[in-house]
A and B are shown apart, each in its own frame.
Chain A
Amino acid sequence: MTILDFRFWIETIDIYPGETLGLVGESGCGKSTLGRAILRLTEPTGGQVLFRGKDLAHLSQREMRDERKHLQMIFQDPMTSLNPFMRISKQLMEMTELHLGYTKDQAYEHAVKMLETVGIPDARARADSYPHEFSGGMRQRVMIAMALSCEPELLIADEPTTALDVTIQAQILELIKKLKQDTGTSVILITHDLGVVAGMTDHILVMYAGKIFEQAQTRELFACPGNPYTKGLLRSVPDPTAEQGALYQIPGLPPDVAHLPPGCPFAPRCERAEEICRQEFPPFVKLNEEHYSLCHFAEEVYAKSCSERDARKSMNQTTVQEENA
Chain B
Amino acid sequence: MLRFIIRRLIVIVPMVLIVVTLTWGLIRLAPGNFYTGEKRIPKAIEKNIREKYGLNRPWYVQYGKMMGSVLRGDFGMSLTYPGQSVNQILWSTLPVSATLGLLAYILALAVGVTTGTIAALKQNSKWDYASMAFAMLGISIPNFVLGPLLVLLFSLTLFWLPPALWGGGSPANLILPVLTLSAIYMAFIARLTRSGMLEVLRSDYVRTARAKGLSEVQVVFRHVLRGGIMPVVSFSGPALAFLIAGTVVVERVFALPGLGNYFINANFARDEPLIIGIVAFISIAVLIFNLLVDIGYAYIDPRIRY
A72 to B209, CA, bound (A): 11
Question: Is B204 among interface residues, defined by CB-CB distance under 8 A?
Answer: yes
The reply to whether A84 and B205 contact each other, CB–CB distance below 8 Å, is yes
Closest 5 CB pairs of A and B: A68-B213, A80-B204, A83-B205, A130-B302, A65-B213
Question: Is A3 among interface residues, defined by CB-CB distance under 8 A?
Answer: no
Asked, given contacts A85-B227, A94-B222, A132-B302, whether A72 binds B208 with beta carbons under 8 Å apart, the answer is no
A contact residues around B222 at 8 Å (CB): 86, 94
| A122, chain B: closest CB distance, angstroms | 19
Find the B residue at minimum CB distance from A129.
B302
Other A-B contacts than A68-B212, A84-B301, 9 sampled, CB-CB below 8 A, are A41-B207, A61-B216, A75-B207, A75-B208, A81-B208, A85-B226, A85-B301, A94-B212, A130-B303
The reply to whether A72 and B227 contact each other, CB–CB distance below 8 Å, is no
A85-115 contacts to B, CB under 8 A, are 85-86, 94-95, 98-99
Asked, given contacts A80-B204, A84-B205, whether A132 binds B303 with beta carbons under 8 Å apart, the answer is yes
Find the B residue at minimum CB distance from A76.
B204
Interface residues as binary, B8-44 with A (CB distance below 8 Å gives 1, 0 otherwise): 0000000000000000000000000000000000000
Asked, given contacts A94-B222, A130-B302, whether A82 binds B205 with beta carbons under 8 Å apart, the answer is yes
A46-96 contacts to B, CB under 8 A, are 61-62, 65-69, 72-73, 75, 77, 80-86, 94-95
A275 to B84, CA, bound (A): 98
Number of interface residues of A (CB under 8 A): 28
The reply to whether A98 and B213 contact each other, CB–CB distance below 8 Å, is yes
Q: Which of B204, B210, B216, B300 contacts A77 (CB 8 A)?
A: B204
A130 to B301, CA, bound (A): 10
The reply to whether A99 and B213 contact each other, CB–CB distance below 8 Å, is yes
Asked, given contacts A132-B302, A132-B303, whether A80 binds B205 with beta carbons under 8 Å apart, the answer is yes
A42 to B203, CA, bound (A): 14
| A34, chain B: closest CB distance, angstroms | 15
A contact residues around B302 at 8 Å (CB): 84-85, 130, 132
B contact residues around A85 at 8 Å (CB): 226-227, 300-302
The reply to whether B207 and A146 contact each other, CB–CB distance below 8 Å, is no
A66 to B213, CA, bound (A): 7
Question: Is A207 among interface residues, defined by CB-CB distance under 8 A?
Answer: no
A contact residues around B133 at 8 Å (CB): none
Find the B residue at minimum CB distance from A36.
B207
Question: Is A39 among interface residues, defined by CB-CB distance under 8 A?
Answer: yes
Find the B residue at minimum CB distance from A73.
B211
Interface size range of chain B in the complex:
20 to 34
Q: Which residues of A contact B (CB under 8 A)?
A: 39, 41, 61-62, 65-69, 72-73, 75, 77, 80-86, 94-95, 98-99, 130, 132, 143, 146
B148-185 contacts to A, CB under 8 A, are none
The reply to whether B209 and A69 contact each other, CB–CB distance below 8 Å, is no
B212-229 contacts to A, CB under 8 A, are 212-216, 222-223, 226-227
A39 to B211, CA, bound (A): 8
B contact residues around A95 at 8 Å (CB): 212
A62 to B214, CA, bound (A): 10
| A76, chain B: closest CB distance, angstroms | 9
Q: Which of B211, B215, B223, B300 contacts A83 (CB 8 A)?
A: B223
User: Most A CB atoms within 10 A — which of B210, B226, B227, B300?
Assistant: B210
A16 to B196, CA, bound (A): 42
Q: Which of B203, B207, B213, B227 contacts A69 (CB 8 A)?
A: B213
| B222, chain A: closest CB distance, angstroms | 7
A84 to B205, CA, bound (A): 8
B contact residues around A94 at 8 Å (CB): 209, 212, 214, 222
| A246, chain B: closest CB distance, angstroms | 37
Find the B residue at minimum CB distance from A149.
B212
B contact residues around A61 at 8 Å (CB): 216
The reply to whether A80 and B213 contact each other, CB–CB distance below 8 Å, is no
A80 to B302, CA, bound (A): 15
The reply to whether B208 and A83 contact each other, CB–CB distance below 8 Å, is yes
The reply to whether A68 and B300 contact each other, CB–CB distance below 8 Å, is no
The reply to whether B213 and A81 contact each other, CB–CB distance below 8 Å, is no
